[in-house]
């Protein structure tokens, strides 16, 4: 793949550049949007945070038995007056005191480990349960997003958001607050106690903290920048893999495996380089902080050793300081890793917020009511629509369809045929005009009540990785019985081949329907539509790309599907649309003609051109036979008896 192609690929797939600094505003926004999920887990959170604070307090007590052993057992200094009760209770034998202090040391560690285990389990439970709840919420929101929003994202990127980004979200919602509280409380308790024990040593210990913070801040920003770019590259890789997998047949047929491999290698190398860059910055910072911590500890040991030699402090106090120093420096050192986690989590949170805060959702109006059953007419009144501002796809469209009529939409690609169907299904709303169902604007009706009255049969038969029965029953709003499923399959000319499958109706459909032929997939698709049994049916070129035998079977199924239904047909095949009661001719989003097949051939030059283009030869109109058979797709071809080829044009 040449350099220009690679740049175009990155420009098309990479998300817009984001700020390289940690945005506390974005983090607080994440808490605001997802914070309502805390209320379902507040008891576990209270238990977990209580356990966390207890472990920090026990951490303050843990080194004290060592200090007491050194000062009062080994060096045999007299016990302080406050501890004189120990001698009164247990005697002055040093071995007894040693045993008590060792027992206290073990007991403190056991209690600390026990509490830490339960609080960490509680945190983990809250984290996994919140992931489950947020995933349900995000998926539910995605289900309601308008098509224009979903079409602006690549499938791989959407999957990455819902899986990987969502997995990183608890770092912001659960572990970020936990780590901040834990480290701040640890630093505060240990620093405060150090000041109480010996303020001069405490100030020496604090002297390296500003230097540690400076390096922490400097390196964390670089790590964050590399992490953000790495995340963007991973999104590109996910989208490339999804695109490559879905187009594998085309890639292999055209022999473009090497080109695709080059694209993948380019993105993979960039991801590796950014990962190594982030790791390098992190490791350099770790080594710098190790040196600074050693420097701070060395200063404390030097100054504290002098104070101990001058009998200002006991040697055990110096040991206590060295232990506290490590516990105080450790959270400061880990702030770099915490900020790196924040950086990674912030990127994930921003991508999730972009999805969940999107307002491009088809929602019911506040005053919406359920649409009554369709009985009379469907009308497009002065409808104009654009996918992008200023670029209209439909211009002032007006037509009316009576209940039970069959209407065909014809025109060149891009004329607006599928857009009409999308507006009827309320995948989009028109910027101007109204779509009326029995005189009521469908925007005044609940979305579900409108779509419950419409069946869409798409050009591509999309089947789920479920059983044959489940795929057919998917079309019924309530649970479908076996009899209903079998009846729909028979009407769709699918029952015979289903019974020849290994487990008949219990056979699993492979992903993408790869264990079925094109005709079989389309007939299952039609069985699903038949069992739905709605008053309005939209056929979006359902028999395209099928062989003659499969198309004949499909036409028989279509006849059953559209019987006594209000039907919209989007097709280029004139044998499919010639039987229609009305044919709407669209050009550039405008309705240029309306009539029957015979009328349009007689009066509409544009329609004759479309018809001639399909036959690849000129057509002359001759009067049709007195009777037209419009009740069956099987008989549709007979309507062509009234039209003859203009042989004179070839003489």
pLDDT of 625 reads: 45
List, run by run, the mean pLDDT of 10-residue segments along the chain (651 residues): 41 41 68 78 86 88 86 80 69 80 89 88 85 80 64 58 72 80 87 87 86 74 69 74 74 75 82 77 77 86 87 86 83 68 70 68 78 87 81 86 88 82 85 88 87 82 82 78 85 85 85 77 83 85 57 70 84 74 86 86 83 61 44 41 36 31
pLDDT of 551 reads: 62
How do the domains of the chain map onto residue ranges?
24-356
Q: pLDDT (tens digit, 9 = 90+) per residue, 68-113? A: 888 888 888 877 777 666 676 766 778 888 888 899 889 988 998 8
Q: Is the pTM of this model over 0.75?
A: no
Under a CB-based contact definition with an 8 Å cutoff, are residues 219 and 281 in contact? Answer: yes
pLDDT of 230 reads: 72
pLDDT of 210 reads: 83
Phi, psi of 469 (to 5 degrees): -60, -45
CA angle (254, 545, 428) in 5-degree steps: 100
Under a CB-based contact definition with an 8 Å cutoff, are residues 455 and 538 in contact? Answer: yes
Under a CB-based contact definition with an 8 Å cutoff, are residues 65 and 108 in contact? Answer: yes
For 10, 236, 350, 361, the CA distances from 150, given in Å and listed in that order, are 19, 17, 17, 10
For 453-488, the three-class secondary structure string (H helix, E strand, C coil) is: CEEEECCCCCCCCCEHHHHHHCCCCCCCCHHHHHHH
Q: Which fold has domain 24-356?
A: ABC transporter transmembrane region fold (1.20.1560)
């Amino acid at each position: 793949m040449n350099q220009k192609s690679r740049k175009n690929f990155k420009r098309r797939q990479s998300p817009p550049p984001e700020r390289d600094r940690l945005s506390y505003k974005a983090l607080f926004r994440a808490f605001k949007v997802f914070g309502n999920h805390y209320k379902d887990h507040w008891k576990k959170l209270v238990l977990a945070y209580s356990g966390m604070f207890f472990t920090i307090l026990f951490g303050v007590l843990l080194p004290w038995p060592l200090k007491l052993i050194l000062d009062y057992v080994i060096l045999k200094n007299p016990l302080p007056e406050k501890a004189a009760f120990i001698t009164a209770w247990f005697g002055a034998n040093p071995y007894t005191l040693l045993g008590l202090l060792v027992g206290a040391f073990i007991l403190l560690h056991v209690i600390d480990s026990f509490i830490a285990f339960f609080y960490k389990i509680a945190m983990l439970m809250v984290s996994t349960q919140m992931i489950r709840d947020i995933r349900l919420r995000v998926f539910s929101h995605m289900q309601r997003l308008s098509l224009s929003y979903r079409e602006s994202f690549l499938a791989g990127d959407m999957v990455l958001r819902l899986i990987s980004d969502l997995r990183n979200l608890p770092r912001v919602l659960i572990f970020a607050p936990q780590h901040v509280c834990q480290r701040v409380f640890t630093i505060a308790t240990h620093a405060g106690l150090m000041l109480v024990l010996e303020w001069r040593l405490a100030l020496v210990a604090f002297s390296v903290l500003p230097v540690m913070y400076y390096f922490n801040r400097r390196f964390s920003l670089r790590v964050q920048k590399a992490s953000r770019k790495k995340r963007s590259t991973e999104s590109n890789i996910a989208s490339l893999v999804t695109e490559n997998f879905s187009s594998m047949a085309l890639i292999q047929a055209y022999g473009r495996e090497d080109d695709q491999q080059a694209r993948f290698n380019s993105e993979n190398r960039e991801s590796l380089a950014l990962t190594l860059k982030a790791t390098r910055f992190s490791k350099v910072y770790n080594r710098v902080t190790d040196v600074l911590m050693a420097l701070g500890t060395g200063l404390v040991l030097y100054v504290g050793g002098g104070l101990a030699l001058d009998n200002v402090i006991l040697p055990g106090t110096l040991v206590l300081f060295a232990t506290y120093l490590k516990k105080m420096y450790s959270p400061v050192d880990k702030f770099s890793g915490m900020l790196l986690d924040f950086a990674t989590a912030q990127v994930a949170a921003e991508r999730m917020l972009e999805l969940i805060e999107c307002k491009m959702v088809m929602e019911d109006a506040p005053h919406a009511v359920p649409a009554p059953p369709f009985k009379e007419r469907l009308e497009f009144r002065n409808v104009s629509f654009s996918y992008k501002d200023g670029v209209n796809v439909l211009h002032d469209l007006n037509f009316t369809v009576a209940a039970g009529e069959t209407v065909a939409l014809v025109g060149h690609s891009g004329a607006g045929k599928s857009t009409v169907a999308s507006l009827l299904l309320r995948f989009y709303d028109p910027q101007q005009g109204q779509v009326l169902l029995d005189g009521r604007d469908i925007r005044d009706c609940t979305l579900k009540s409108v779509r419950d009255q419409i069946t869409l049969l798409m050009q591509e038969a999309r089947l789920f990785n479920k059983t044959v029965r489940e795929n057919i029953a998917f079309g019924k709003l309530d649970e479908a019985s076996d009899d209903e499923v079998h009846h729909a399959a028979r009407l769709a000319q699918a029952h015979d081949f289903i019974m020849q499958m290994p487990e008949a109706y219990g056979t699993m459909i492979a992903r993408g329907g790869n264990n079925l032929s094109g005709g079989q997939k389309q007939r299952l698709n039609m069985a699903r539509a038949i069992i739905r049994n709605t008053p309005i049916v939209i056929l979006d070129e359902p028999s395209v790309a099928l062989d003659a035998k499969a198309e004949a079977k499909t036409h028989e199924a279509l006849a059953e599907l559209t019987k006594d239904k209000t039907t919209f047909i989007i097709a280029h095949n004139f044998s499919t649309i010639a039987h229609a009661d009305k044919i709407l001719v669209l050009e550039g989003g405008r309705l240029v003609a309306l009539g029957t097949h015979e009328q349009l051939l007689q009066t509409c030059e544009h329609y004759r051109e479309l018809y001639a283009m399909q036959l690849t030869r000129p057509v002359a109109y001759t009067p049709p036979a007195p009777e037209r058979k419009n009740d069956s797709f099987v008989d549709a071809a007979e309507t062509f008896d009234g039209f003859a080829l203009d042989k004179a044009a070839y003489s």
